[in-house]
Amino acid sequence: MSTSDAAGPADRSQRQYNFSAGPATLPVEALREVKDELPVYDHVGASVMEISHRSPAYDEIEASAREHLRALLDLDDDWHILFLQGGARMQFYQVPLNFLPEDGVADYVVSGRWGVKAVAEAERVGGVNVAASSEDADFSYVPDVAEWDLTPDASYVHITTNETVNGNQMTDDPVLDVPVVTDASSEFLSRPMDLEGYGLIYAGAQKNVGPAGVTVVLVHDDFLQRRTQPLPTMLDYGTHAERRYNTPPVFAIYMVEKVCRWLRNQGGIDAIHAINRRKARMLYDAIDATDFYRGTVDPEDRSTMNATFRLHDSDLEPVFLQKAEQEGLLGLSGHRSVGGVRASMYNAMPEAGVRRLVQFMEEFERTHG
């Protein structure tokens, strides 16, 4: 699981530190379990990919994944846990389709690229009020809740609690007059959440929860009951809240079960949150210690999950990224829409990985500063 501290080409037949924004690093323990469980899963005579989604073995896996999520987030029975497909992108459409009447209005707070995409899909369904946006400042901050221009009778308020591309995070969970919906993809299970104000929380799994191919949706029953009817069966949250309707993405849910079990073994959300804060502090301290690097987000709104930064000399960025890759620090390129450097430090990234990155940054500055 580790790369040598000595500079030089890393052996990529071994695991390296992977800072990819998603699909992203997973707990190596979970991957080793998968390896052990091939080609036969736990005395069922077949692999987990080959058994019926109506079989007792699969029932157990899915029930265990749900139970871990309930325990980790302290969810009561009013919260439905759904395992859907299509990623956050599908949620951008499915949320308004279910909850925004054609003649209604939903408020959207836009603090990054994903919020912009969510607005575009909602506009196909009904009225959208952009209650706040930091687009004119390149999403370098999160608009303060006191300044959101909210519609009194909005169907919901949509936020993005962590903007993966822009590297900002909203850490106070808002409690408003109407239910809040959040795209929590890149911070889900990374910090304690106050669920009180939320009606629906969605997260593409491929950051903190599992591989690409499943989206975890938490929907509160009070909010669920407000949805429009009728809806296309597969896009109706009620279909999936009621029962296991269609063939689920079995392997991805099997991985979610492993990742959530791993997280509970780490001590749960509070324990991982403490580690996540230490990792973020270590990296941001390194960025702030010198003018050679420069964070792109206001310090109070910086994400613990996705740290975005630039080099003082942008011509050096390709050199930095190439050398990092050679040394086994993978996936550090900023999103293609913004460039620069992005270090994603999801739950499964060990502190030693961030320490190694900070060392590399110091070495790079000594050589190129």
Binding residues for its own copies (CB under 8 A): 10, 12-16, 18, 20-26, 28, 31-32, 34-35, 38-40, 43-47, 49-54, 85-87, 89-90, 92-93, 97, 120-121, 124, 204, 206, 211-214, 230, 232-235, 245-252, 255, 328, 330-331, 336
Q: Helices 351-368 and 317-326: crossing angle, nearest 10°? A: 130
**Residues in the annotated binding site for pyridoxal 5'-phosphate:** 88-89, 114, 164, 183, 206, 246-247
Q: Which amino acid is at 83?
A: F
Cβ at position 92, least distance to its own copies in Å: 8
Spot the catalytic one: 79, 107, 173, 183.
183
Our CB check for its own copies shows the closer of 14 and 314 to be 14
Separation between Cα atoms, residue 223 and residue 79, nearest integer Å? 10
Separation between Cα atoms, residue 111 and residue 142, nearest integer Å? 6
Cβ at position 57, least distance to its own copies in Å: 10
The torsion angles phi and psi of 154, rounded to 5 degrees, stand at -60, 150
CA 323 to chain CA mean position, Å: 27
Our CB check for its own copies shows the closer of 47 and 151 to be 47
- Which residues, 6 or more positions from 46, have their beta carbon under 8 angstroms from its beta carbon? 40
CB 205 within 8 A of CB 74: no
Cβ at position 227, least distance to its own copies in Å: 15
Of 306, 295, 314, which Cα lies nearest the Cα of 368?
A: 314
CA 80 to chain CA mean position, Å: 19
Our CB check for its own copies shows the closer of 166 and 206 to be 206
Our CB check for its own copies shows the closer of 179 and 204 to be 204
Cβ at position 59, least distance to its own copies in Å: 14
Q: Which amino acid is at 19?
A: F
Active site residue 207: yes
Spot the catalytic one: 79, 107, 114, 262.
114
**Residues in the annotated binding site:** 54, 88-89, 114, 164, 183, 206, 246-247
What 3-state class would DSSP assign to 344?
A: strand
Our CB check for its own copies shows the closer of 54 and 366 to be 54
Separation between Cα atoms, residue 147 and residue 165, nearest integer Å? 23
Separation between Cα atoms, residue 270 and residue 346, nearest integer Å? 14
Cβ at position 173, least distance to its own copies in Å: 25
Separation between Cα atoms, residue 106 and residue 119, nearest integer Å? 9
- Which residues, 6 or more positions from 280, have their beta carbon under 8 angstroms from its beta carbon? 302, 303, 304, 307, 345
Our CB check for its own copies shows the closer of 46 and 63 to be 46
Separation between Cα atoms, residue 198 and residue 246, nearest integer Å? 27
Query: Distance between the two ends of the chain, CA-based, in angstroms?
Result: 30
Spot the catalytic one: 79, 107, 207, 262.
207
Q: How far is CA 210 from CA 133, 213, 223, 313, 318, in A?
A: 30, 9, 26, 36, 30
Cβ at position 149, least distance to its own copies in Å: 26
Active site residue 138: no
Q: Which residues are catalytic?
A: 114, 183, 207
